[in-house]
Structure 1
């Protein structure tokens, strides 16, 4: 007898139950709480799902559970390659939970005038991960006033003076590792190009650098701390300032790899060799760092781990029985490591 073929539109959960020889309740349980079933029963049900082509009606399920089945991720600059691996880590985690991910560039969104709280109020998302520590006080108050603060996670960056949970790299330790490495190579004249003035990462990395410089009793010159903004352009501008100095540093620790690339290319264009004349260390270990010439010595952030941990923490927040906010306020800190390549060497002479 030829196999009965059901059209995609007509397939219902009862068809799966009939195919598997189980009740509709068992099929529903296999989809929502598979751990409650034996392995044999799960295999039978999922085999029936595959053979019938049954697909879960997410809209109906979300309506029943009063959840949107989606989360919002705020990124300060989608053009920055740093964020790619963080987003990939989140995608891995949310993909396993069948949760959709919406991504918004905070710069573009701010210009449009749309409030991020509207995504919640319009029932488009169940929670939010924010990679932007520059979120305004007005936005944060909007979340608090609407009782939504318990569904927000900060990742990578964070906001001071808030109780919102966060996942971040050990930025201060990374800065200390960078300065220690240059010191071990023999450098004593070490400059630092910072990130944006008000950024939390800038402060953490600068404080780590200052602490290690003091511990090692390195000489201090005010013009060896140069303000930047994590961009290629700020690296170029920093290089021009260093070139013009009467007493140049022999090494530079940059607050990001992008800054380091702008710095090195401008030094090279003006006849200064890296690392022969000036050594350079970056921070982040983005993909280009390994392939730049010379390959960049840098501080590696485990960006996929940052993304996965932030996604896991958010899923705990939007779970039907979420972890109490008081239990989640301590930041989750991801370790960093020094990656030694060719852009740093002992000073000449």
Structure 2
């Protein structure tokens, strides 16, 4: 295995000079730089990045922890944060917790061991005190999630308002019996979207029937299962608000299996605006989150913190939008 000493000998320089050239130190003459880089190329030398990290106390790497890498909503977030990271000379490690708390804890341990310079959490199922403790040791940014009363930088939307607008859209169409398929109520996103649904129902003086609220986990299968339960009621709802597009797509499949037409027999609105929403038939009405911008803003916040130039405004709330397509209409009769 080629070592830095070998490069130094071939280039007739010191190992310190080789290190300065590889780290792009400007205080090395162009002639010496060329000689070192030619030696690197001839010998096929690969720098030991881990050893370099210990010397520099910097890995130029950040870890991004996702709850479910198969959910296409997160792909746009990843694209946004990758674009910023690459433009600023950083590498990104992706971690998929599969909605498992222990997996999330394992990734935080990786951060504690200083193998990465910072972390973006797009999931936060650990107790907030644990995450706060880690945030005192290393830069952390929350993307989509947040903690009330904790000074941890956050990039998200107003999920309560967005859910209220989604429900209000169905009310405006004339629906009075509206079912809700929530996300996990153990996390803030699930609770906020439920809160928005309840607010819209109460504002319009419509009863909130607990039997019309089914808890899911943001997956297609959860949406399918919840919809089957809602449609099994003696008095099923005429409209459904699903707290994610994937659950909305699952609900659409369940409706078809029950012999129902969307939106003629039951209207459905989702949340996220994933690409698949425009490929299902009929096309899905939804709430659009600016996923790409969530990624870019979160990465910029994190890298600014790492470099010690973080902005004062740490909690960013980005705009959302109701996207009207084909899965909602006025109820029959």
Common fold by TM > 0.5: yes
Determine the C-alpha separation between the residues in 2 that align with 1:79 and 1:202: 19
- The alpha-carbon distance between structure 1 residues 165 and 272, as it changes in their structure 2 partners (threshold 3 A), is same
Are 2:116 and 1:125 equivalent residues in the alignment? yes
Is residue 224–residue 249 contact of structure 1 (8 Å, CA) maintained in 2?
A: yes
> Distance between the aligned counterparts of 2:319 and 2:76, measured in 1?
16
1:228 matched residue in structure 2: 216
In structure 1, what is the Cα distance between the partners aligned to 2:144 and 2:237? 30
Q: Are 2:75 and 1:84 equivalent residues in the alignment? A: yes
- Asked whether the equivalents of residues 97 and 104 of structure 2 are also in contact (C-alpha less than 8 Å), the reply is no
Q: Comparing 100-109 with 309-318, which one deviates more in the overlay?
A: 100-109
Aligned pair partner of 1:334 in 318, 321, 324:
318
Alignment partner of 1:246: what SS?
Answer: coil
**Map of 2:16 onto structure 1:** none
Gaps of 5+ in 1: 1-8, 15-23, 31-44
CA distance 1:345–1:71, change in 2 (3 Å): same
Residue 259 (str. 1) matches residue 250 (str. 2): no
Bigger CA drift: 310-319 or 202-211? 202-211
| Residues 1:108 and 1:162: Cα distance change in structure 2 (over 3 Å) | same
TM-fit CA distance, 1:322: 3.4
Q: 1:152 aligns with which of 136, 140, 152?
A: 140
Give the equivalent residue in structure 2 for 1:6: none
- Count of aligned positions: 305
Asked if the contact 1:131/1:158 (under 8 Å) is kept, the reply is no
Residues in 1 aligned to 2:215 and 2:111: alpha-carbon distance in whole angstroms: 37
Alpha-carbon distance in 1 for matches of 2:271, 2:223? 13
**Structure 1 pair 29–176 and aligned structure 2 pair: CA distance change class (3 A):** farther
Alignment gaps of 5+ in structure 2:
1-6, 14-20
Within 2, Cα distance between the matches of 1:239 and 1:109? 25
Counterparts of 1:58 and 1:167, CA distance in 2: 34
Counterparts of 2:89 and 2:196, CA distance in 1: 40
Normalised by the length of structure 1, the TM-score is 0.77
**Which residue number in structure 1 is paired with residue 65 of structure 2?**
74
Could you tell me the TM-score, scaled by structure 2's length?
Answer: 0.81
The alignment partner of 2:176 has SS state of coil
Q: Distance in 1 between matches of 2:290 and 2:237?
A: 30
